[in-house]
Amino acid sequence: MISNLSETKDFYSTIIIGGGIVGAGVFRDLSLHDIDTLLIDKKDFASQTSSKSSKMLHGGIRYLENFDFPLVWEALHEKNLWLKLAPHLCFEEKFYLPIYSDSIRPKWMIRIGLFLYDLLSSFQNSPYEMKNKIETLEINADLKEEDLKGSGVYHDAVVHDGRLTIEVLRDAAINPRCHALNHIGLEDYEFLNDGRIRVILKDEIEGVTKEVFCNDIVFATGPFTDKVLAKSAQIHWNPQLLPSRGSHIWISKERLKIKTAILLTPNDGRVIFVIPQADRILVGTTESKVEEEYFDLQPTAEEITYLLANLNQYFPKAKIQEDDILSSFAGIRPLVKDDSTATLGKTARVHKYFQPLKNCHVLVGGKYTTFRTMAQDVARSIVHKHKKAYIQDKTLAEFRFKMRYNPFKQKGFTPEQEAQVRKYEFIRCEEDFNRRL
């Protein structure tokens, strides 16, 4: 591992720009195929979108309505894979979907949807259930009782998004030919006639720059991609993104009597997740257009008002106020433009791989959950250029980088002890990433 710009080599086969989950996924895949690679991020690793998600590994129950079955199938299989590969960073959670007498989706429709969801997971999901009103309130006492008919219950996973990104990066960096540096920005780049790329890197803390060469460059810059590529005179880049802003708030677990995650479906057609994690509850998200600034966003007052209003509509007894908010965060979904969908909420979460020049790879869109399969498109192309066989099952392996402290591998933990360890892990990590309002 290296820790300074001065320690980089002068040449790498591949340079990856962006240390979010997508860049990390490509980095790990190339590392497993022994391709010498440098990954850089202008900010801290996972400090942008990849630590600002709803923290779910999920198939996307709402994409069923858009008939995005291949996407849901792929994401559910990835979710169930990571539950096995990183049990210390993600766990399965029950999601209650309350049904009211005026709900747009009646009980029979929910039942069919949840069955389809389990079917698309090849029945790897724990099976869905239907609960009546009393059973629903037994588990989630603060939920609005009036007109409640019952709930559908399905299973997705909760993930520590920032930390899984770091572990994917660390696993890649185990290969001594693969280096990763944070706070190093892409200052400039030039595609040379001899097929190489001249890349100018800038240490964002010290201000110094360094020239490094590579054969392939990968842009895994998420929502920043259009802005980064617009600077190049050699790539004639048409903007591909429809960036969509989303915010979350954390409230204390004491403020809401719920024992499972709940999916709220307000009348505006959006969905809001209420997800207990350790001693807190995550509430989000919003969906709106992005203004000029993209880095290190904070929620707006309107977004906070929107989330609180919906929370109080579904949990009227709790009377949650702004003072109850422990912290909040905002990020930008790197949605790819899709002419067939008119609204942000319905824009498909598919990813796209562009190759504007034969040694320039741009990977955008998708979801956190599907980062491994997204990365395969780029990794396959680069590995083939090295005249090597691309083995897609390599990324199914457990991390080579072993956690020194992996309690779930130890036998004999009681459920209470396991819950205690999970609580510690989540709190420690969330405190790193969240800023107070």
- What does the binding site for ligand FAD look like in residue numbers (CB under 6 A)? 17-23, 40-43, 47-50, 52-56, 58, 185-186, 220-224, 228, 246, 285, 331-334, 366-369
Among candidate residues 1, 93, 61, the one with its CA nearest the CA of residue 422 = 93
213 touches 188 (CB < 8 A): no
Q: What is the DSSP string of 130-173?
A: EEEHHHHHHH-TTS--TTEEEEEEEEEEEE-HHHHHHHHHHHHT
Q: Which helix (H) or strand (E) holds 171?
A: helix 161-172
**Tokens representing residue 321 in the block:** 């106020």
128 or 189, CB closer to ligand FAD? 189
Number of H helices, E strands in the chain: 9, 18
Distance of alpha carbon 56 from alpha carbon 63, whole angstroms: 15
**Cα end-to-end distance, the chain, whole Å:** 36
121 or 285, CB closer to ligand FAD? 285
49 or 175, CB closer to ligand FAD? 49
Residue 8, φ and ψ in degrees, nearest 5? -70, 155
Q: Rg of the chain over CA atoms, in angstroms?
A: 22
**Tokens representing residue 115 in the block:** 């069955």
Smallest gap from residue 238 Cβ to ligand FAD (A):
19
151 or 286, CB closer to ligand FAD? 286
Distance of alpha carbon 322 from alpha carbon 224, whole angstroms: 31
88 or 248, CB closer to ligand FAD? 248
Cα–Cα separations (whole angstroms), residue 155 to 60, 110, 121? 11, 14, 11
Smallest gap from residue 125 Cβ to ligand FAD (A):
16
Smallest gap from residue 21 Cβ to ligand FAD (A):
5
Distance of alpha carbon 204 from alpha carbon 77, whole angstroms: 38
For 385, residues 6+ apart whose C-beta sits below 8 A from its C-beta are 215, 216
136 or 244, CB closer to ligand FAD? 244
DSSP state of 244: E
Distance of alpha carbon 380 from alpha carbon 153, whole angstroms: 38
57 or 318, CB closer to ligand FAD? 57
DSSP state of 199: E
13 or 288, CB closer to ligand FAD? 288
62 or 131, CB closer to ligand FAD? 62
113 or 223, CB closer to ligand FAD? 223
Smallest gap from residue 363 Cβ to ligand FAD (A):
7
Smallest gap from residue 277 Cβ to ligand FAD (A):
12
Smallest gap from residue 260 Cβ to ligand FAD (A):
16
Smallest gap from residue 307 Cβ to ligand FAD (A):
12
Smallest gap from residue 20 Cβ to ligand FAD (A):
2
Among candidate residues 341, 396, 378, 437, the one with its CA nearest the CA of residue 35 = 378
For 205, residues 6+ apart whose C-beta sits below 8 A from its C-beta are 183
Smallest gap from residue 244 Cβ to ligand FAD (A):
7
Residue with tokens 């590392």: 31
Among candidate residues 175, 157, 162, 167, the one with its CA nearest the CA of residue 84 = 157
242 or 332, CB closer to ligand FAD? 332
Q: What value, to the nearest 5°, has the Cα angle with vertex 343 and ends 345 and 337?
A: 95
Largest alpha-carbon pair distance within the chain?
A: 71
Smallest gap from residue 395 Cβ to ligand FAD (A):
16
Smallest gap from residue 223 Cβ to ligand FAD (A):
6
